[in-house]
Chains A and B, each alone.
Chain A
């Protein structure tokens, strides 16, 4: 089994490059399907946020991810190569853990990324591109993220896009009292920013979204008014602060719009906060006098200036991640064989117990020493017999011989081939870890995480 990941993020590529690779939310499902059908890919997941675009795959013999990018985006990969990073094996595990735990984020500790990872995971599950090893990895990544959040204070002092937006707005407008805010594209981050601006005194909030329904919902939540998307240009000049986060492939606000707005506003300054990738505000917009445009990369610079003492917590989080990577690695080595091994041990243990019970009646009362001797004897016989089948199974882990061998063993030992049963068995075996050799295994399907995946709002792309 091969784990591979290819991607760009805010550290390796400027927004110009990221927006060329970005997979808009409405294409995420399609992109995942396309990647799944790419040569050699067994499992895959696609992460695409404003700060990263990553393709992770599990394959038998390795897959040509550069080829996928070329085929899918119909773009020449060579100029992108310097921006792309590629990970294999454990490094993929580490990277995915770090991403989910928000250690790789532009704003370290910001909470949105976890929702985005969950969303990609949910899409992968729906498409069927996430089932075995990748499922285990992603599920574990969500738990690791939770652990990092609870065991370190990395998320507590988060300097979010929202607070940076407030700080910048204050540099321009002084007091935010009575300033109006226009949210274009109803997303989580933009909503957060709008709320934050309001709590600092901003007055009216307008919300516009291509799907008007969602604008209405958000307007209700933030106490603003929804405006039809086709009235965007005729109303946007009423706002002092415009937050854009649509999934549009091209800029929504261009220079001529800016000039029109400034004319209508009698040149009162206007502040655009563009958190969309690809960007919603054309770069030439900032040439218009009185218009200030900050895109996601600009916000990052401001953030970096603000971040000071989060280094120590980040270090703790990194150690935690290393620990988790090692744990995951140990698990992966035995993963595929585990249900069969556990079932096998259970089956034999069951035989041993019933034989012992049957024998006890005939043996009469035994001293504790004799009890112990019998226990040790039977156990060691059982372990000796099971040793070869188990180590054979383990050695086949990850290879295609595993399935047939497991099938054969199950047949020979009369174990029912029921996935649910083996799952239960593996869970039960956890309680009795000292008795069963390989019981370190624990189920990867974390129920609580899955319900959250289901709840994940599909529109929360940043």
Chain B
């Protein structure tokens, strides 16, 4: 059943994504108004799917796909949260396709390889995963915001106000969204990493520090901290902030990809 709900949610994500893209091209009010209710229904179904998966204990599609699904869900929650705070659906241009692709990948997963790691039966690992994924979503969202900031800044400098600048929220608003999300994501990321370290310490001892995924995670966390510091200390935004968050995002992506060659995170049997 979990997969069933998830698949409907994916379909709705796709629909709201299309609406958002059309709205972007044509500036039709009705279209962008439809995006939010559809996304809302999709997020609700997605939640149902996640809860069902959790309760049944069967990690549909394996942990990787499950975390994809969770990541998509969290990003959608942020998207809706940002809308309620700032009344803008602009991040949807990026968030909706990403959420769609992530959840699609999870929904298409057919086989569920048996889980062997006893770790997965403890609640700690879920705390770790959820916290880290919230951190990821915030980081990614702030990366989107910095890209939108750059686009807006460029069109303002070129004095082209009918292009993208006419559709995006004010420059400071975008900046604010990005910064606030960084602030929100940081404690999650930090506590999530600490939780992960504690689990790994208990499980594998000191050797886990040589794991590529762990090293990358720490690097990503370092960049994250630098971003917050430069912002707080000298108000870095625009190009420099975008570069930093692109770097942090790239690090986060490689952390994600490191699942394929990380010993610590390989929970499934071969």
Contact = CB atoms under 8 A, between A and B. Distances in A.
Given A171-B165, A286-B157, A298-B159, A268 B235 contact: yes
A16 B238 CA distance: 30
B239 interface: yes
B82 to A, nearest CB: 14
A328 interface: no
Nearest to B162: A305
B238 A174 contact: no
Nearest to A266: B235
Given A266-B235, A267-B235, A269-B171, A171 B156 contact: yes
Contacts of A290: 237-238
B111 interface: no
**On chain B, which size bracket covers the interface?**
10 to 19
Most buried by B among A168, A268, A289: A289
Interface in B127-173: 153, 156-157, 159, 161-162, 165, 169-173
A267 B153 CA distance: 13
Contacts of B153: 289
Contacts of A294: 159
A114 interface: no
Contacts of B165: 171
Nearest to B174: A174
Interface in A157-195: 168, 170-175
Most buried by B among A170, A171, A294: A171
Nearest to B232: A266
A396 interface: no
B159 A301 contact: yes
Contacts of B172: 172-174, 269
A61 interface: no
A292 B240 CA distance: 17
Contacts of A269: 171-172
Nearest to A291: B157
A384 B152 CA distance: 80
Given A174-B169, A174-B170, A174-B173, A267 B156 contact: no
A289 B159 contact: no
A297 to B, nearest CB: 9
B236 interface: yes
B239 A171 contact: no
Contacts, number: 47
Contact of A171 (B161, B236, B238, B240): B161
A252 B96 CA distance: 47
A403 B12 CA distance: 91
A302 interface: yes
A360 interface: no
Interface string B236-249: 11111000000000
Contacts of B234: 266-267
A292 B157 contact: yes
Contact of B156 (A172, A174, A266, A305): A172
Nearest to A289: B238
Nearest to A179: B172
A355 B238 CA distance: 94
A265 interface: yes
Contacts of B169: 174
B173 A267 contact: no
Interface string B208-245: 00000000000000000000000000111111100000
A123 to B, nearest CB: 35
Given A173-B171, A174-B173, A267 B236 contact: yes
B235 A265 contact: yes
B156 A292 contact: yes
Interface string B159-193: 10110010001111100000000000000000000
Most buried by A among B170, B172, B237, B240: B172
A292 B161 CA distance: 13
Nearest to A293: B157
Interface string A263-301: 001111100000000000000001001101010001001
A305 B161 contact: yes
A168 B161 CA distance: 9
A290 B172 CA distance: 11
Most buried by B among A175, A266, A268, A286: A266
Given A174-B170, A266-B235, A267-B238, 12 more contacts: A168-B161, A171-B156, A171-B170, A174-B171, A267-B234, A267-B235, A267-B237, A269-B171, A289-B238, A290-B237, A301-B159, A305-B161
Interface of B: 153, 156-157, 159, 161-162, 165, 169-173, 234-240
For the complex of A and B, list the 6 residue pairs with the smallest distance between their C-beta atoms, beginning with the closest: A266-B235, A174-B170, A267-B235, A174-B173, A172-B171, A298-B159
7 contacts: A170-B170, A172-B171, A175-B170, A267-B235, A267-B238, A302-B159, A305-B162
